[in-house]
Chains A and B, each alone.
Chain A
Amino acid sequence: MKTSNDTLPFWKHWGALDSIVPAPQAVPPVHRAGPLAVACRMFLVLSLLTGMIYPLAVTVTARVCFPHQAAGSILKRDGQPVGSEWLAQRVAGSQYFWPRPSAGDDGTNYATVASAASNLGPTSSNLIAQVRARADEFRAAHHLADDMAVPADMLFASGSGLDPHISPASARLQIPRVAEARKFDAATTERLCKLVEQSIEPRQLGFLGEERVNVLRLNLALDLLK
């Protein structure tokens, strides 16, 4: 049945698309497969489409077009993979910039399989104690005055337990410690300051998200600083 609506593009017609056709009545079922058999076959076909063809198409296209990202954005030093750009790794020494604390910190590394958050609520005494301990530790390591505020991202554990970024303020505060540990002279420290400023990623498209510094990238660049 042809109606005037059929000639319009779909975004033009406001009307009951469904009621263009007179309301159909139930047809007595012909002898055919029962609903269970149809359900099984339909499930099989849709699994094939959405569970095999679709993910395979994405995997192949991703591998061809974005091989680096699809494989985990692995960063290398002297040809050896040292980690993923997107996953924080635990830093204990003074030679490198520190990432955010992680609830998955087991004393040797940040857990990745599976990573973890603290899930402590705002009235948790445990949370308060952790934050105070981290503040004391950070102040002591960076020779900060007792009343100086430490940036919140260095005090609170991240959601993923693997947050690859820190705030620009946290990065700047760590410069003197890193320079001292590496015995940088004044000129090299100056270059380190520049490096940190260059490492600050702006808000995406100018307004999305927050300014941030990727810690692993910064630490890799730091190793190249002579």
Chain B
Amino acid sequence: MSSVDTSARTFNLKSWLAEHGVDRLLFLLVPAFLAMLAFFIYPTIYGTYLSFHPMEAKSGALGNYRSFFGDTYMRNSIWNTFRIALPVSLINVFAAVPLAVRLRHRVRGKRTINTLLVIPMSLGTVLIAEGLSAYLAPNGWFNRTLLAAGIIDQPLQLLHNFWGVIISLLITGFPFAFLLTLSYISGINPKMEEAASTLGATSWQRFRYITFPLLTPGLAITFCLNFVLAFSVFPSANLLGNPAGDSHVLAVAAAQAIVNNYDYSMASAISVITGAFELAVVALVLVMRSRLYSGSTSGGKG
């Protein structure tokens, strides 16, 4: 049917784009794309390039990687990071679920709880680490309260070790996980639970068979975002952990490579390694997610 000779008409950019399925509004993305290019894509490529050019040129392109994986102390930083990031993101996500289930309806004090949860997010990790380093100290509020209540008779050692980092990441990561989970759960049509209840399902069965399966894809995303945040932990590992010992995480290792040895190339290699592990975990979670139902949760005619 398209036998009309279009070449006879004068060229019109607007209709040419429309015919080729290009939405002109997409051009509005150009500034954002340029910013991405300048501040993310180029540094990533440059960092990767740098990591293959070690300070000591004779060690070859893989020299940095060889020395990283060859050094037990450095290699352990991978394990140290996982040991912090995995449990923290799992706890954050699974603790967020019951709270979000409770707060998805109109509940008294919902605003107060939401505000309380959002504050740690807005304060930033450094400020929270600072505050915790006083609060969790052996003579800090936390230990003194427990001592006074007679729950413990020795101050708990919560600073400059694994636990300090964990606690701080729970405080900063939980609100984030909660708010995401709440928005996912609010998208599930409450009529579905009502339908399940008229079919005889108790509140636990309704959660188990209806709400949870519909929520899982959202939880997978929440987990990934939380994991990425926790995996690049730096301020709290330094301030509350033991950056030379069990909280010698990848970010700390990279920073030390720069600060102690002026070795940008090694730091780049460590960053690449960090990124690779993050991507591997996120990819694994997303592959598992794709096997689940992930369509509309609003019910009714979609």
Decide whether A and B assemble into one complex: no
Binding site for B on A (CB under 8 A): none
